[in-house]
Amino acid sequence: MTKNITLAHGNGGEENNELISKVFYKAFENDILSKSEDAAVIHNGELAFSTDSFTVSPIFFPGGDIGKLAVCGTCNDLAMMGAKPKYLTCSVIIEEGFAIRDLEKIVRSMKKELEINGAVIVSGDTKVVPKGAVDKIFINTTGIGEIRQRGISSNNITKDDLILISRDVGRHGATIFAAREGIEFSSALQSDCASLSLQVNALMEAGVKITALRDATRGGVAAVLNEWARQSNICIEVDEESIPVSEEVYGSCEMLGFEPLNLANEGTFVLALPKEHVQKALKVLHGFENSSNAVIIGKVSDAYLKKVILNSSYGTKRFLDLPTGELLPRIC
């Protein structure tokens, strides 16, 4: 590992994982943490517990803002463990000179998103730092959720499961990049930022048995699939053509040299479901606007354990690796 922190250490990919395992896991190691789930399962499996900090730039972007993102991010990590988000904390670090009007706008977004999730903020903290000590505003949220379906885990995926995606990929990353650079690719390019607890709840209520769920945030779908392949000691084979990518995202990737599967999403999740539950799950997902193009993207095999294989439409195969390098800093 390098002597000092680089931007790559926050990329949600290879370097980020190395930092987490060699510094944090090494010091804090325990059975709950080492499960590496989206949220920790605590209190005899009854509660999910998760935290996330938000540093996105710009703080207002097409499809959301840092406040909406801060509530969605933590609530989604709870939902990915089959939990209903209940109680959140909210800590803000604000730069001297920040407009109160902007702060109110951010807080209104948070309130709206909390209502969607049926969650409340029950504790918080405010720090103000001198100009230049932080860029505008950083927000941390921590949340507790009530687990409604037990046993959901990224460590339990087997050949009996199929891999699905809830919607088209790469919107958040492409939107933030365009907004930051002042490029307008298309007015239709908007972040997918959204709360996922409604969809997850509907899946559970319909009796869908869930093996694993993960929102494809930093590092994108490529990171989720690689983490799952490693954690469950399986090979995941994905058909490249089956992964939905919008024209706007595809166009921006062509122009900027990004890979849609590496781009961050903030309202898109990957599902591993037992084969016999897939049709029921798709029917539920298709009832929601932001998962109306949910689709099967792959299967589990034992071709190369701990690896992800991408099958192209030309019949060629290649490994899809964990993203590396700086990617896009401050996307969430």
What residue ranges bind Mg ion (CB under 5 A)?
38, 77, 215
Which residue's CB is nearer to Mg ion, number 50 or number 109? 50
Residue 230 Cβ vs Mg ion, minimum distance, rounded to whole Å: 16
Q: How far is the CB of 175 from Mg ion (least distance, A)?
A: 18
Alpha helices in 95-154 (DSSP H): 100-117
**DSSP secondary structure of 255-279:** HHT--GGGS--SS-EEEEEEGGGHH
β-partners of residue 212 are: 272
Tell me whether residue 83 or residue 309 sits nearer to Mg ion (CB atom). 83
Q: Which is nearer to Mg ion, 166 or 252 (CB)?
A: 166
Smallest separation, CB 156 to Mg ion (Å): 17
SS3 at position 45:
coil
Q: Which is nearer to Mg ion, 38 or 237 (by Cβ)?
A: 38
For Mg ion, which is the closer residue by CB, 148 or 280? 148
Amino acid at site 186: S
Q: Is the dihedral of CA 302, 207, 287, 64 positive or negative?
A: negative
Residue 223 CB, nearest distance to Mg ion (Å)?
Answer: 10
| Residue nearer to Mg ion on the CB measure, 38 or 113 | 38
The end-to-end CA distance of the chain, in Å, is 24
DSSP state letter for 291? G
Say how far apart CA 127 and CA 133 lie, in whole Å. 11
Minimum CB separation of residue 94 from Mg ion in Å reads 26
Residue 331 CB, nearest approach to Mg ion (Å):
13
Q: Which is nearer to Mg ion, 72 or 309 (CB)?
A: 72
Residue nearest to Mg ion (CB): 38
327 — alpha (psi -120 to 50), left (phi > 0) or beta?
Answer: left
Tell me the closest approach of the beta carbon of residue 166 to Mg ion, in angstroms. 13
Nearer to Mg ion, 25 or 185 (CB): 25
Residue partners of 241: CB distance under 8 A and separation at least 6: 312, 313
Q: Which amino acid is at 123?
A: S
| Number of residues assigned to the chain | 332
Distances from the Cα of 98 to the Cαs of 95, 101, 137, in angstroms?
6, 9, 8
Question: What is the smallest separation between the CB atom of 77 and Mg ion, expressed in angstroms?
Answer: 4
CA angle, residues 192, 238, 325, in degrees to nearest 5: 65
H-helix or E-strand containing 294? none
